[in-house]
Each structure stands twice: as structure tokens, then as C-alpha cells.
């Protein structure tokens, strides 16, 4: 069912429509929040605040943009408020997820393969954290929600071409950073193995 139909059904009193809407979007919003906050203990609180705002404001949704765009605008504004409140300038990706993923890897992988995978995850986290805030924001909105450049531009209050430019720069900067970071990590791994 289309998001707009679900919203109308929920406003009309069909609470199961909201459950469907929530299930459809919760994963992407949660990952977006998790990757933007430096304090993992705040993620669940901010995530709940976002959905509380959605519930309280859903009757103001005007259907001129997609629900996804509207939802991520609320999420982004809530994150900005949280960052201002915490006076956090630096943003980092929660490493707990990569630790959990590494722990669940099958035991058939060799220690060297696991180390290589973990190094790549850390390199990606590091490089995303090195992006300027405006590039990181656009990158995460695209990667976590699959939003288009025009949809992202509405959320970040920038022109479509500026948003596309930020995305191009983000991908370019990530590629360059990863090349450098992975070469350094590979060199360090080689040294550790030789010791």
C-alpha cells in the first residue's frame, strides 16, 4: 500500500496503517540516527522522539512531497536539535554495529580475513566521519533512505544542483580517503604479520 494511503487511513482511525508505515521506514531512520550521533546511548531516545513528532504532526503532512522526504526532514531537524543540545560538533558512526556484524561472521573465515573485513569497516567509518557535515548529511540520506537528490535538497534546504555536487564530492572524498586508509592499514597488517 502507498504511504499516502496509509497516512489517510491512519488519520481516519486505522492504527494498523501507522504500524505498517512505521515498519516500512523504521530501519532506515534508525540507521540514519545511529550514524549521525556520537553518543550511542542517545540513539533510541532520538529515534523515539522522531516517531513521536511524526505521530503528533501527521495531520499536517500535505502530500506535496513524499512521506519519506517529510519523515527524514523531521529526523534531520531532530538530530540538529539534539546536536545543538549536546553541543556536539564531531559526528561519528556507532562502532557497535560493526562489532556485532563481525561477531556473527561464520567461523569458516580465517583470522586474516576477519581482520581485513574489520579493517575495511573501520576505514569506511573513519572516512565517513571525515566528510564535511553537509556532504555527510547528504550521503547518509541517500545511502540510508534511498532518497533522490531533489528529495534530499528539500530536507537539507539546498538547491538540487548543490545537493548533487555535495553527493559527488562525498563519494569522491570517500574513495580518496579509503584508498589512503586501506593502503595504510594493509601496510600495518603486513608489518604485524612479519613480526
Of 41, 39, 28, 38, the closest CA to residue 75 belongs to 28
18 contacts 5 by C-beta, under 8 angstroms: no
Query: Rounded distance, CA 9 to CA 6, Å?
Result: 5
- The pLDDT score that the predictor gives to residue 125 is 81
Q: What is the CA radius of gyration of the chain?
A: 19
Task: Work out the percent of the chain whose per-residue pLDDT is above 90.
Answer: 36
Residue 184 has pLDDT above 70, yes or no: no
Instruction: Please give the CATH architecture assigned to the domain spanning 1-92.
Output: Orthogonal Bundle (1.10)
| pLDDT, tens digit, 9 for 90 and up, residues 54-113 | 999 998 998 888 999 999 999 998 888 776 655 433 332 333 334 444 444 444 445 454
Q: What does the pLDDT average to over 28-42?
A: 85
Mean pLDDT of all residues in 162-182 = 88
Q: Could you tell me the residue ranges of all domains in the chain?
A: 1-92, 96-195
Measure the CA–CA gap between 44 and 50, rounded to whole angstroms: 10
Report whether CATH 1.10.10.10 matches the domain 96-195.
yes
> C-alpha grid cell for residue 187?
601496510
Amino acid at each position: 500500500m502507498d504511504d499516502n494511503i496509509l497516512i489517510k487511513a491512519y488519520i481516519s482511525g486505522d492504527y494498523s496503517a501507522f504500524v505498517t508505515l512505521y515498519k516500512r521506514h523504521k530501519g532506515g531512520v534508525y540507521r540514519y540516527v545511529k550514524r549521525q550521533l556520537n553518543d550511542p546511548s542517545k540513539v533510541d531516545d532520538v529515534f523515539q522522539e522522531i516517531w513521536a513528532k511524526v505521530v503528533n504532526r501527521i495531520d499536517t503532512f500535505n502530500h506535496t512531497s513524499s512521506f519519506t522526504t517529510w519523515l527524514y526532514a523531521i529526523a534531520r531537524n531532530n538530530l540538529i536539535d539534539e546536536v545543538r543540545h549536546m553541543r556536539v560538533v564531531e559526528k561519528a558512526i556507532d562502532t557497535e554495529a560493526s562489532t556485532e556484524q563481525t561477531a556473527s561472521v561464520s567461523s569458516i573465515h580465517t583470522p586474516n580475513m576477519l581482520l581485513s573485513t574489520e579493517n575495511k569497516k573501520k576505514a569506511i567509518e573513519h572516512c565517513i566521519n571525515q566528510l564535511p557535515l553537509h556532504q555527510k548529511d547528504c550521503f547518509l540520506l541517500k545511502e540510508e533512505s534511498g532518497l533522490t537528490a531533489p528529495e534530499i535538497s528539500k530536507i537539507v534546504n539546498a538547491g538540487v544542483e548543490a545537493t548533487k555536487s555535495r553527493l559527488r564530492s562525498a563519494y569522491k572524498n570517500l574513495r580518496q580517503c579509503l584508498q589512503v586508509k586501506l593502503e595504510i592499514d594493509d601496510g600495518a597488517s603486513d608489518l604485524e604479520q612479519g613480526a
